[in-house]
């Protein structure tokens, strides 16, 4: 079993309130989660308007599919209007 893990720090420069931020983060989590069958959660900076840290995991068949998954997630967040990736740390682990 292969496990792909990503920690993504995001800047939300246009948010003017926590309500704005939560709307964008919820939309991002919903769109990523529904299409990719992953676990995703905001893990830090919950009370800051313009910053978020997301943790994402997925179980994959092999390392190539895990790397494609991580690349796809990074691209989806990069393309999301109103978000900027500050830091993207990822790793791939084998349980065998």
Per-residue pLDDT tens over the stretch 64-77: 999 999 999 999 89
Which pTM was predicted? 0.85
**Residue-range domain boundaries for the chain:** 2-94
Report H helices in the chain: 18-36, 63-79
For 2-94, the fitting CATH number among 3.40.1160.10, 3.30.70.1120, 3.30.1280.10, 3.40.50.300 is 3.30.70.1120
Report the run of H or E that residue 42 belongs to, with start and end: strand 39-44
- 5, pLDDT greater than 90: yes
- 95, pLDDT greater than 90: no
- The pLDDT mean for the chain works out to 91
Cα gap 53→11, rounded to integer Å = 9
Characterize the bridge pairing of strands 51-60 and 84-94: unpaired
């Amino acid at each position: 079993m292969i496990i792909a893990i990503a920690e993504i720090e995001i800047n939300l420069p246009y948010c003017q309130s926590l309500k704005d931020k939560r709307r964008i983060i919820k939309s991002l989590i919903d769109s990523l989660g529904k299409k990719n069958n992953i676990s995703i959660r905001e893990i830090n900076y919950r009370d800051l308007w313009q910053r978020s840290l997301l943790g994402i995991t997925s179980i994959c068949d092999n390392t190539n599919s895990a790397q494609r998954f991580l690349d796809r997630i990074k691209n989806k967040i990069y393309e999301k209007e109103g978000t900027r990736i500050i830091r993207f740390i990822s790793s791939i682990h084998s349980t065998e």
